[in-house]
């Protein structure tokens, strides 16, 4: 019973997976990394002791799942059922034609010309945030993750609704996101406890938290509609853009779901990525004056704009190396609809397939000394020599994170602002570990010392 295998991939014994399920709740990456070291880059196990799963950090395997045969691999019930309980059904957890229809409409908000317009708005948000950040930095060591969460919620919220959200609203939304994600992870790893969560009131308590966050967002949607929606508001795309097939527009209820999903995903992706970028720059401060010199050479006294931000070659390489070591999306989940074979490995229908991004980014056959911070890995010649699915911090294929270009733009903007005004270092008296939830968060405060130039 405990050694049941369902495919020809190397298999983690079922008994071992059950024993490891508690550790999986605390830190799934640590458990999967242990399996990867022992069983190789593609292996099978029973997730939570029960679900048939295949994990891979092989780029060619992942490309097959996410691009070449992506129609055979739909999002699993982790996204479709567990997450939709708290986020509703929208772009993040649709499959098939529903997803394609919604993606086509929402993608209009992330075209390059629109990002140029959004950047002009976001410059003011960042400048306002910087004044408060400077005051906080003067008090001594600060938690950079907390400040990045506040900033990115402001950026995403303003881009969505064209209006500022109150600090207490941002704090409540951030706390709700973190609490619900922890609960979802518990549901995923221990699905047999879901009936107990519902009977004990745990499920109801988290739903009440979600409803409070929904109410905040809905207030801003209604207020913006009363004020008049501006051309640059993302809300305009959601509420006024007609679907190409019916000519109808999105309902206010669906716009709320999409707003929440974009707010959560946009905030989480950018804030987590920025936190790890700051942490790595603070741990390798020799790159800070080099980036500052590049900014002076490329931007100088000119206003920051979309073009000159993306000409910061070294800065981008530092960001990409940070995303390699700490990818916001540490894994992706899919369900095989039909039997398939990838690189000789049999994939039975119904199997959960996990493109394991964290492991792919630390696959020694692709990345020599994978734990070493080396922005030189992203020089153009070295990029061309690697498989294109060896670096996928935002996923890959048609379902790549829809806001990845906006995230990179925001990260560039904030790094430029910080490096121009501060030297900074990670507090060596403090330790930081990863806390993998739906995204790869730090496990607590990321304490850093920022000294104004």
- Condensed to tens digits (0 to 9), the pLDDT of residues 380-402 reads 999 999 999 999 999 999 999 99
Q: Is the pLDDT of residue 368 over 50?
A: yes
CA–CA gap between residue 251 and residue 240 (Å, rounded): 10
CA–CA gap between residue 224 and residue 231 (Å, rounded): 12
pLDDT grade, residue 1 (50/70/90)? Answer: very low
On the 0-12 / 13-18 / 19+ scale of CB atoms within 10 A, 384 is: exposed
SS (H, E, C) the chain: CCCCCCCCCCECCHHHHHHCHHHHHHCHHHHHHHHHHHHCCEEEEEECCCEEEEEECCHHHHHHHHHHCHHHEEECHHHHHHHHHHHCCCHHHCCHHHHHHHHHHHHHHHCHHHHHHHHHHHHHHHHHHHHHHHHHHHCCCEEHHHHHHHHHHHHHHHHHHCCCCCHHHHHHHHHHHHHHHHHHHHHHHCHHHHHHHHHHCHHHHHHHHHHHHHHHHHHHHHHHHHHCCCCCCHHHHHHHCCCCCCCCCCCHHHHHHHHHHHHHHHHHHHHHHHHHHHHHHHHCCCHHHHHHHHHHHHCCCCCCCHHHHCCCHHHHHHHHHHHHHCCCCCCCCEEECCCEEECCEEECCCCEEEECHHHHCCCCCCCCCCCCCCHHHHCHHHHHCCCCCCCCECECHHHCCCCHHHHHHHHHHHHHHHHHHEEEEECCCCCCCEEECCCEEECCCCEEEEEEC
Task: Give residue limits of the domains in the chain.
Answer: 14-452
Q: Which two tokens stand for residue 418?
A: 């910080």
Cβ 442 vs Cβ 304: under 8 Å? no
pLDDT grade, residue 2 (50/70/90)? Answer: very low
Instruction: Name every residue whose Cβ is closer than 8 Å to that of residue 135 and which is 6 or more positions away in sequence.
Output: none
* Average pLDDT in the chain: 90
Region 349-371: mean pLDDT is 97
Region 430-439: mean pLDDT is 89
What would the pLDDT profile of 284-330 be if each residue is shown by its tens digit? 999 999 999 999 999 999 999 999 999 999 999 999 999 999 999 99
pLDDT grade, residue 195 (50/70/90)? Answer: confident
Region 105-128: mean pLDDT is 91
Pairs from 66-70 (Cβ < 8 Å, separation ≥ 24): 66/332, 66/334, 66/355, 66/389, 66/392, 66/395, 66/396, 66/397, 66/399, 67/389, 67/396, 67/397, 67/398, 69/340, 70/397, 70/398, 70/399
For helices 144-161 and 167-189, angle between their N-to-C axes, nearest 10 degrees: 110
Cβ 136 vs Cβ 143: under 8 Å? no
Evaluate whether the domain defined by 14-452 bears CATH number 1.10.630.10. yes
Q: Which of 288, 310, 219 is nearest to 260 (CA)?
A: 219
Cβ 56 vs Cβ 334: under 8 Å? no
pLDDT grade, residue 9 (50/70/90)? Answer: very high
Q: Which of 418, 421, 407, 422 is nearest to 119 (CA)?
A: 407
Strand partners, 73: 336
Q: Is the pLDDT of residue 161 over 90?
A: no
Cβ 147 vs Cβ 136: under 8 Å? yes
Q: Is the pLDDT of residue 252 over 70?
A: yes
Q: Is the pLDDT of residue 190 over 60?
A: yes
Please state the length of the chain.
453
CA–CA gap between residue 334 and residue 185 (Å, rounded): 16
Q: What's the pLDDT score for residue 51? A: 87
Least confidently predicted of 115-124, 231-240, 245-254: 231-240
Calculate what percentage of the chain has a pLDDT beyond 70: 97
Q: Which two tokens stand for residue 182?
A: 């922890």
> The dihedral of CA 259, 263, 265, 269: what is its sign?
positive
Distances (CA, A) of 124 to 40, 130, 134, 149, 322: 48, 10, 16, 17, 26
Phi then psi for residue 449, to 5 deg, are -110, 115
Instruction: Name every residue whose Cβ is closer than 8 Å to that of residue 364 and which is 6 or more positions away in sequence.
Output: 370
């Amino acid at each position: 019973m405990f050694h049941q295998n369902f495919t020809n991939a190397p298999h983690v014994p079922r008994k071992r997976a059950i024993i490891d399920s508690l550790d999986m709740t605390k830190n799934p990456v640590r458990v999967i990394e242990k399996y990867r070291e022992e069983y190789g880059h593609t292996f099978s196990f029973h997730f939570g002791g029960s679900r048939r799963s295949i994990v891979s950090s092989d780029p060619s395997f992942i490309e097959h799942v996410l691009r070449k045969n992506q129609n055979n691999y739909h999002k699993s019930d982790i996204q479709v059922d567990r997450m939709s309980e708290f986020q509703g059904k929208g772009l993040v957890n649709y499959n098939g034609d529903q997803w394609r229809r919604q993606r086509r409409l929402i993608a209009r908000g992330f075209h390059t010309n629109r990002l140029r317009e959004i950047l002009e708005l976001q410059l003011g948000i960042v400048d306002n945030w910087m004044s408060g950040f400077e005051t906080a930095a003067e008090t001594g060591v600060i938690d950079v993750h907390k400040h990045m969460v506040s900033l990115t919620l402001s950026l995403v919220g303003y881009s969505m609704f064209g209006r500022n959200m109150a600090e207490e609203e941002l704090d409540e939304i951030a706390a709700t996101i973190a609490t619900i994600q922890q609960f979802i992870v518990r549901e995923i790893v221990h699905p047999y406890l879901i009936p107990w969560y519902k009977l004990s009131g745990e499920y109801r308590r988290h739903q009440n938290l979600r409803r409070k966050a929904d109410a905040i967002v809905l207030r801003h949607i209604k207020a913006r509609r009363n004020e008049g929606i501006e051309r640059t508001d993302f809300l305009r795309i959601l509420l006024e853009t007609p679907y190409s097939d019916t000519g109808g527009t999105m309902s206010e209820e669906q716009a709320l779901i999409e707003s929440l999903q974009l707010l959560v995903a946009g905030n989480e992706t950018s804030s987590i990525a920025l936190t790890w970028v700051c942490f790595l720059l603070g741990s390798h401060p020799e790159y800070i004056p080099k980036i500052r010199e590049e900014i002076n050479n490329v931007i100088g006294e000119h206003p920051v704009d979309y073009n000159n931000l993306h000409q910061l070659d070294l800065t981008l390489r530092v960001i990409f190396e940070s995303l390699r070591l700490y990818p916001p999306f540490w894994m992706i989940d899919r369900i095989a609809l039909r039997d398939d074979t990838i690189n000789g490995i049999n994939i039975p229908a119904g199997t959960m397939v996990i493109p394991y991004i964290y492991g792919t980014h630390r696959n020694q056959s692709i990345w020599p000394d994978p734990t070493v911070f080396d922005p030189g890995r992203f020089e153009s010649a070295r990029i061309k020599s690697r498989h294109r699915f060896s670096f996928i911090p935002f996923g890959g294929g048609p379902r790549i994170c829809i806001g990845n270009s906006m995230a990179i733009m925001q990260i560039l903007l904030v790094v430029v602002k910080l490096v121009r005004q501060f030297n900074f270092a990670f507090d060596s008296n403090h330790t930081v570990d990863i806390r993998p939830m739906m995204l790869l968060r730090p496990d607590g405060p990321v304490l850093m010392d920022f000294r104004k130039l």
